[in-house]
């Protein structure tokens, strides 16, 4: 239902990054730029399966990169980290020319500017190589090199390009700051002044840079125009360097405006077991529901736990001030999945699905036990994502280990463990790691084998659909109280249904599905759920609706009159603008995708109102 991002937590390792990525890193072994380009034309409304932003695509194409390289970089890095995308593009572009040619072009142009930019260019080239020059030797370079940058920090406030701006921001006007920054990027001061005059003082740095670049390109295309000898070819030689600094500036400004707030500072409990889990002792507690939350139907809402500051307060306020229940699915299975749940279900007499699922990696994937090295302390997988590690990555890891008969050196161990944790790689042979297969992810998330297989569904779509789903065992534990309440069957309104995690949970609990209205935008997900419905010989009625915005009050009233109302309204709106690793559009509940939470509220209020009139 909600999108995933990296949970980045294991039993023996401390992770500082956040839970799922709303804009997840899409690094698959297969796929093409054409697939990625087509995704830019889709809409994200009404579903958790939203594609990358066409604005982001145009943003980098406008910087002078080819469409194919931009598509490849976004596909491999996801649109959640613009800095990593840019570094990947720099790497691709460098590979198209010989390394000596690149250095000659950059450094000769820097010399024309009295050497002022020489150190910056060297720094940029160093960052393109992942910034590990102080940690590796020439002999190690093969396995540390990458076709994309995986190690650029999200917090750009520490970068050199932002420090100068921070130091001067207190004494200069915003106009002067822009002039200084663009001049520092290499644009002539007079041209910058003209750009500010033409575009207006309120224009963003991006608009000003585009204006300047367009002017330079126009001059370059005019055969009658000859640049003064003292001026460098700024656009052709420095476009990528400037675009990087421009993006860093924009990220810095967002941080200064408070758009990237810290995650919830006090609300998340440790351990994250909510109102109790079957495998951990829990202290007695008492929950009192607000009166507005008690009236039918039951409701159940889910989203990522590590949302921006204040988001869960807002969600709780709109959902009748019900206290959230934060649970990490590592207490139910072998993979972590930190989620928040708000519901008005009873919390006494819950029971888990049987048999209990395996709770360690070796129990869940016993064939890995033979090859698991003693220096890999993982017993749990991190949050299962919509993406997997690439074949190139697993080959680099193999090469990094094959030269050592015994334990590898500490720096090699650290490299391997970091990548294994990041991409949930498991050991399948001597010095050999591999990403999880779709059927293994299905098992870890509690879905039946081959739930997402067949019917024309690609391997890429399987990972994407699974990464955006419920963890069935966790949700089933919460929904188990409904079995005694609805012995004859239940009527469900399932919003943002995904691949039917709620329906699978209810079915596995032995609760008949009398009537289900499933609302899901992605056709792939609707096909998966429809196939499961048929394969499990459900006797009830399944109605598919494509978009939550199609579910008007009139339509709801028709459905309630025909079927007698709903017993449960369940769903998890898209987390794209909430997830921690989305540093581009982490706009909270005001974001384009995550604002669909308010559709959940609208529909739930309408159902409660219509059913209340009929009581």
Pairing of strands 432-434, 338-343: unpaired
Distance CA 432, CA 518 (A): 42
Q: What is the 3-state secondary structure (H, E, C) of 354-378?
A: CCCCCCCHHHHCHHHHHHCCCCCCC
Distance CA 558, CA 222 (A): 66
Beta-carbon contacts of residue 3 (< 8 Å; ≥ 6 apart): 20, 21, 22, 24, 48, 304, 386, 467, 468, 574, 575, 576, 579
Write out the DSSP string of 373-435.
-TT----SB----S----HHHHHHHHHHHTT-SSSPPHHHHHHHHHHHHHHT-EEEETTEEEP
- The answer to whether 575 is a known catalytic residue is yes
Q: Which residue in 199, 383, 575, 609 is the catalytic one?
A: 575
Largest separation between any pair of C-alpha atoms in the chain: 85
User: Can you point out the beta strands (E) in 165-253?
Assistant: none
Tokens describing residue 609: 């109102």
Distances (CA, A) of 443 to 192, 372, 436, 452: 58, 20, 11, 11
Closest C-alpha among 77, 83, 73, 22 to residue 50:
22
Distance CA 216, CA 213 (A): 5
Beta-carbon contacts of residue 183 (< 8 Å; ≥ 6 apart): 189, 192
Distances (CA, A) of 435 to 12, 31, 74, 426: 20, 16, 20, 6
Phi, psi at residue 513, to the nearest 5°? -95, 100
Phi, psi at residue 333, to the nearest 5°? -150, -170
Distance CA 7, CA 19 (A): 4
Kindly report whether the peptide bond that precedes residue 271 is cis, defined as omega within 30 degrees of 0.
Answer: yes
| Contact predicate 50/594, CB 8 Å | no
| Strand, coil or helix: 48 | coil
Beta-carbon contacts of residue 312 (< 8 Å; ≥ 6 apart): 264, 267, 324, 340
Write out the DSSP string of 149-186.
-----S-GGGSHHHHHHHHHTTTS-HHHHHHHHHHHTT
Distance CA 475, CA 558 (A): 29
Residue 588's Cβ-side half-sphere holds a number of Cα atoms within 13 Å equal to: 16
Rounded to the nearest angstrom, the gap between the alpha carbon of residue 571 and the centroid of all alpha carbons in its chain is: 19
Q: Which residues pair with 343 in a beta bridge?
A: 300
Closest C-alpha among 191, 202, 177 to residue 228:
191
Give the active site residues.
575
């Amino acid at each position: 239902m909600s999108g995933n991002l990296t949970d980045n937590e294991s039993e023996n390792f401390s992770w500082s990054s956040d839970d799922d990525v709303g804009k997840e890193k899409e690094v698959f072994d297969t796929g093409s730029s054409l697939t990625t380009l087509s995704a830019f034309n889709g809409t994200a409304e009404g579903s958790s399966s939203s594609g990358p932003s066409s604005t982001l695509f145009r943003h980098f194409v406008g910087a002078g990169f080819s469409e194919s390289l931009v598509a490849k970089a976004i596909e491999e890095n996801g649109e959640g980290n613009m800095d990593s995308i840019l570094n990947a593009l720099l790497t691709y572009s460098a590979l198209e020319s010989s390394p000596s040619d690149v250095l000659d072009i950059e450094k000769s142009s820097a010399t024309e500017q009295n050497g002022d930019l020489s150190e910056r260019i060297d720094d940029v080239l160093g960052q393109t190589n992942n910034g590990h020059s102080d940690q590796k030797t020439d002999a190690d370079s093969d396995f540390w090199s990458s076709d994309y940058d995986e190690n650029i920090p999200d917090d750009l406030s520490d970068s050199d390009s932002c420090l100068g701006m921070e130091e001067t921001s207190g004494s200069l006007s915003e106009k002067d700051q822009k002039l200084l920054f663009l001049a520092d990027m290499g644009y002539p001061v007079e041209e910058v002044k003209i750009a500010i005059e033409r575009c207006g003082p309120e224009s963003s740095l991006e608009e000003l840079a585009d204006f300047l670049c367009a002017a330079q390109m126009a001059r370059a295309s005019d055969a009658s125009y000859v640049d003064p000898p003292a001026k460098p070819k700024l656009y052709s030689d420095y476009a990528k360097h400037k675009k990087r600094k421009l993006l860093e500036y924009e990220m810095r400004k967002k941080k200064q405006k408070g758009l990237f707030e810290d995650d919830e500072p006090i609300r998340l409990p440790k351990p994250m077991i909510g109102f109790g889990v079957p495998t951990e002792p829990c202290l007695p507690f008492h929950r009192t529901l607000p009166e507005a939350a008690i009236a039918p139907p039951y409701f159940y809402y889910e989203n990522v736990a590590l949302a921006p500051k204040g988001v869960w307060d807002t969600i709780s306020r709109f959902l009748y001030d019900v206290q959230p229940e934060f649970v990490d699915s590592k207490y139910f299975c072998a993979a972590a999945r930190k989620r928040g749940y708000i519901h008005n279900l009873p919390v006494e007499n819950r029971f888990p699905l049987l048999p209990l699922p395996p709770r360690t990696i070796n129990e869940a994937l016993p064939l890995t036990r033979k090859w698991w090295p003693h220096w890999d302390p993982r017993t749990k997988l991190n949050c299962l994502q919509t993406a997997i590690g690439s074949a190139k990555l697993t080959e680099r890891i193999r090469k990094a280990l094959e030269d050592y008969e015994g334990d590898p050196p500490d720096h090699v161990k650290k490299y391997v463990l970091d990548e294994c944790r990041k991409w949930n790689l498991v050991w399948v042979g001597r010095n050999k790691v591999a990403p999880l297969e779709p059927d293994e992810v299905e098992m870890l998330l509690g879905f039946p084998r081959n739930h997402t297989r067949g019917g024309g569904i690609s391997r890429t779509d399987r990972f994407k659909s699974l990464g955006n789903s419920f963890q069935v065992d966790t949700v089933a534990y919460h929904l188990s109280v409904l079995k005694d309440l609805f012995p004859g069957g239940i009527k469900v309104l399932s919003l943002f249904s995904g691949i039917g995690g709620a329906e699978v949970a209810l079915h596995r609990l032995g609760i008949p599905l009398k009537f289900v209205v499933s609302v899901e935008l992605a056709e792939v997900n609707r096909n998966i759920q429809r196939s499961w419905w048929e394969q499990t010989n459900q006797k009830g009625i399944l109605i598919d609706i494509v978009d939550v915005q199609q579910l008007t009050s009139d339509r709801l009233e028709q459905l309630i009159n025909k079927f007698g109302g709903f017993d449960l309204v369940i769903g998890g709106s898209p987390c794209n603008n909430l997830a921690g690793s989305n540093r581009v559009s982490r706009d909270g509940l005001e974001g384009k995708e995550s604002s669909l939470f308010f559709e959940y509220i609208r529909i739930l209020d309408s159902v409660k109102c219509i059913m209340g009139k009929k009581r």
